[in-house]
């Protein structure tokens, strides 16, 4: 988990911290120093929202989050 969060932080030029896991997909939920929230799973890295409230709304509603891409 530490390496995964470190890699995400480096890619986004920020620091990240784990929040927990999403129970259905076992995605790792993380937050960065600006309060943005992400989900990381075997299919990719996902942006859940600019803050915890929006991220929870995305998760609860089942809305498709934005996929993070490189480049």
Condensed to tens digits (0 to 9), the pLDDT of residues 7-48 reads: 999 999 999 999 999 888 889 999 999 999 999 998 889 999
Q: What's the domain count of the chain?
A: 1
Domain around 38: 2-67
Strand pairing partners for 67? 46
Give dist(CA 6, CA 31) in Å, integer: 12
pLDDT given at position 24: 80
Q: Could you tell me the pTM of the whole model?
A: 0.89
Strand 16-21 and strand 37-41: pairing? unpaired
């Amino acid at each position: 988990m530490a390496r995964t969060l470190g890699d995400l932080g480096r890619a986004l030029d920020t620091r990240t911290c784990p929040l927990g896991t999403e129970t259905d997909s076992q995605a790792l939920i993380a937050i960065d120093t600006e309060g943005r929230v992400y989900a990381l799973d075997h299919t990719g890295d996902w942006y859940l929202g600019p803050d915890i409230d929006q991220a929870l709304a995305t998760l609860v509603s089942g809305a498709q989050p934005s996929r993070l891409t490189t480049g």
